Amino acid sequence: MDIRPLADHPGHVPVLARWHHAQWGHLYEDWTLEVAEAELRDHATRRDMPTTLVALEDDELLGSVSLVEEDAPELRNHGDAWLASLYVRPEARGRGLGALLVRAVVAFAADQRVERLWLFTPEHESFYARLGWRARESATLRGTPVRLMDIRPA
């Protein structure tokens, strides 16, 4: 298994966009599948923030995670670097891939000189806490309660 920038594998953009939109589209107003795909196409041109990392096994797409400057307009006052869109396809779950992707994006954020990295999660606070993230406060996105967490990349 290999974790690489989406820029190395831009052909995976349409699949990622479908996965991301299906998983989180309800949390964002006006975030259509087309908008999700356009964002990922932009990420596929970059090797700095904002960008997306993908997990592959023999060129088979297993998951992704993004490093973005804003993950939700309602939360922009919390910071300017966010872990976003951690996704592992269902058939690949349970192998530690999510943790590997989180560690990879935190290391990437450190390389980008990010001092404080944020995320929000509706349901996986304990997963992130095990990886060193600290719960900070609660918020609501389009009626969905979320927990804000942060980490200082080393």
* Domains along the chain with CATH numbers: 2-151 (3.40.630.30)
* pTM metric for this prediction: 0.91
Q: In this structure, what token pair is assigned to residue 7?
A: 């820029």
Residue 150 to residue 22: CA distance in whole angstroms = 25
pLDDT (tens, 9 = 90+) of the chain, 154 residues, equals 899 999 999 999 999 999 999 988 877 778 899 999 999 999 999 999 999 999 999 989 999 999 998 767 677 777 889 999 999 999 999 999 999 999 999 999 999 999 999 998 988 999 999 999 999 999 887 788 999 999 999 8
Closest by Cα among 17, 21, 105 to 55: 105
